[in-house]
Amino acid sequence: MTISQPLTFKAPTGGVTRALTLCLGKPDPVPAGVTTPYAYEITEGGAGDITQMDSRMLTFNFSTTQPVTGTPALELATVTPAGVTYSPTVPGPLMAVSPNYSVAGSPNRVGLYVVRLTK
């Protein structure tokens, strides 16, 4: 189930209020090939543009009993007919003390962001 919650962000540049729609949670269905329990989709609505926001850090806090075999990271998942490619975001603070994690990154565009626990 996708949970969609409209939010309004006030961008400091010019004090313009831009409406963005953020879909937070796992999209239903998750696109084929994306294998992670932590998938978050960002879409824009209204006249907003996420790239114009001065600060767009996303932080995800979670606990997991899954094996973590790499440094958890927030990445952009791009799905094409050829498969899924992952692109790094500008990393933010990371806290990894099993089973608790806090992963942050700056999304550079709308899309499907995932927290990958393995490489």
Domain that holds residue 60: 3-116
- In the structure, what pLDDT confidence band is assigned to residue 2 with cuts at 50, 70 and 90? very low
Annotate 28-86 with DSSP letters as a single string.
SSPPTT---S-EEEE---TT--GGG-S---EEEEEE--S---S--EEEEEEEETTEEEE
pTM for the predicted model, two decimal places: 0.72
Taking all residues of the chain, what is their mean pLDDT, rounded to a whole number? 75
Query: What is the tally of structural domains in the chain?
Result: 1
pLDDT of residue 7: 45
Residue 29 reports pLDDT greater than 50 = yes
pLDDT of residue 41: 80
pLDDT in tens, 51-106: 666 667 778 888 888 888 888 888 999 999 999 999 998 888 889 888 998 888 88
